[in-house]
Structure 1
């Protein structure tokens, strides 16, 4: 028992020193087995009550306990399945690691075969970050994407070149600049194209292509709501249409 405790401590110490997230087995087979067994028990109880048409005091207690256990089992199973899964290519590594630490228990690699998960606090945070900033955080070097606070808090991950969890000030400023530059370009470039050797056909094609590219940018590059997308697209198209009308009027006058 003393050896077992030492192995557990060594395993957890290694996890704290070498891994940011703690990986654990979901025990998919046991979770489903537990739910299936509780279902079977409740089905039998239901059949007995239906046949006797009487709910005894013993049945009341059993019913209360089984339904509570059944609901708890389902909630627990859902909670575990909602955690991030370890990639399949890493699962064998996890099994070998556990077997190495607990081989004295007579457990082999296959005994640790299960789905592995881990808690990831950055899931919700990254979900709120728009695709442009996420792309910058993935592609740019860590000295630029890590904030000073995160560099101090996650020294190991920073040195290993892992992805930051929060948007640093330089990344945020760069993203704002790119958005402003792109927004200005979407107005200036079509206007310049339509001003050079103007014709109504050329202007209509230019406006159509510019609006299409603008829609693609809003859909895949910036996280906005459906209403905001519709309003922005309509406003942008209206500006270009006004310019087309002005250009056509000037051309006709000449």
Structure 2
């Protein structure tokens, strides 16, 4: 089979077998291209400094090379922003490329050794860790929305992760957050109510606030300001309870 037919066969197979199309980032070639343009611009800068003037020819070359330089950096940055193929899948995809595209007569060393990426961007950071965990571990019939079940029938049948947060997953996450939030208030109050003492109350409050900060930081996607406000509010509620309990003990 000639190379042109192998390329067509590879593309057809990728359409049938893979939802996410992968590509080689060619890190070496991308950096080589940027460095070569940098070299040309360095030589131009040196010539302009030596002559203390810009000729028409140098001006045209300078304009074009600066455009090439900006475009090369932009393209390199864009490629690096794409989601990387996991290491467990990289070998399989590399072997797939070698099967269809390798030319033993002309290829030197291993031109397929490179970073592999998908065409989509990195994982959406708007999905918080709690929802992402639920999407990863719950059954697909629960985590897929009706629309995504229809759009991604093959991936749904294979049990692959959904792309979007379904309504059931979102509601379950909200329920868990509400239960956890309530327990953060009820548990310390119950602990401090039995055999109350100032030392016990302070230790309980400090431990509860620290645990609250950890859960808020690693379990929910919130901004820095929201984290500060939530932590201060939670600590204030517990401090009020401690003051009320100490007043009752004193009375």
Task: Mark yes or no: TM-score above 0.5.
Answer: yes
Structure 1 residues 241 and 51: alpha-carbon distance in aligned structure 2, compared to 1, 3 A threshold? closer
Unaligned runs of 5+ in 2: none
Which residue is equivalent to 1:225? 223
How far does the alpha carbon of each residue in 1:31-71 deviate from its partner, in whole angstroms, 9 at most, with x for none? Answer: 22222222222222222233333322211211112221122
Determine if the alignment matches structure 1 residue 162 to structure 2 residue 160. Answer: yes
What is the CA-CA distance between 1:103 and the residue it aligns to? Answer: 4.4
Deviation at 1:104? 5.9
1:53 is matched with 52
Q: Is the 8 A contact 1:122 1:165 kept in 2?
A: no
Compared with structure 1, are the counterparts of its residues 107 and 146 closer, same or farther at alpha carbon in structure 2 (3 Å cutoff)?
farther
The TM-score normalised by the length of structure 1 is: 0.89
Corresponding position of 1:117: 117
From the two aligned structures, give the one with the greater helix fraction: 1
The residue matched to 2:160 in structure 1 has which SS? coil
In structure 1, the residue matched to 2:132 is: 134
| Equivalent-residue separation in structure 2 for 1:103 and 1:212 (angstroms) | 56
The alpha-carbon distance between structure 1 residues 3 and 216, as it changes in their structure 2 partners (threshold 3 A), is same
Q: Report if aligned partners of 1:214, 1:233 keep a CA contact under 8 Å in 2.
A: yes
What TM-score, normalized by structure 2, do the two folds share?
0.90
RMSD of the alignment, in Å? 2.1
CA distance in structure 1 between the partners assigned to 2:216 and 2:30 by the alignment: 43
Shift of 1:105: 7.5
Inter-CA distance 121–83: structure 2 relative to 1 (3 Å threshold):
closer
Which string of whole-angstrom CA distances, capped at 9 and with x for unpartnered residues, describes residues 160-215 of structure 1?
22211111111111111111111111111222222222222222222222222112
CA distance in 2, matches of 1:232, 1:182: 14
Cα deviation, residue 12, structure 1: 1.0
Q: Counterpart of 1:33?
A: 32
Contact 1:142 1:163 in 2 (8 A): yes
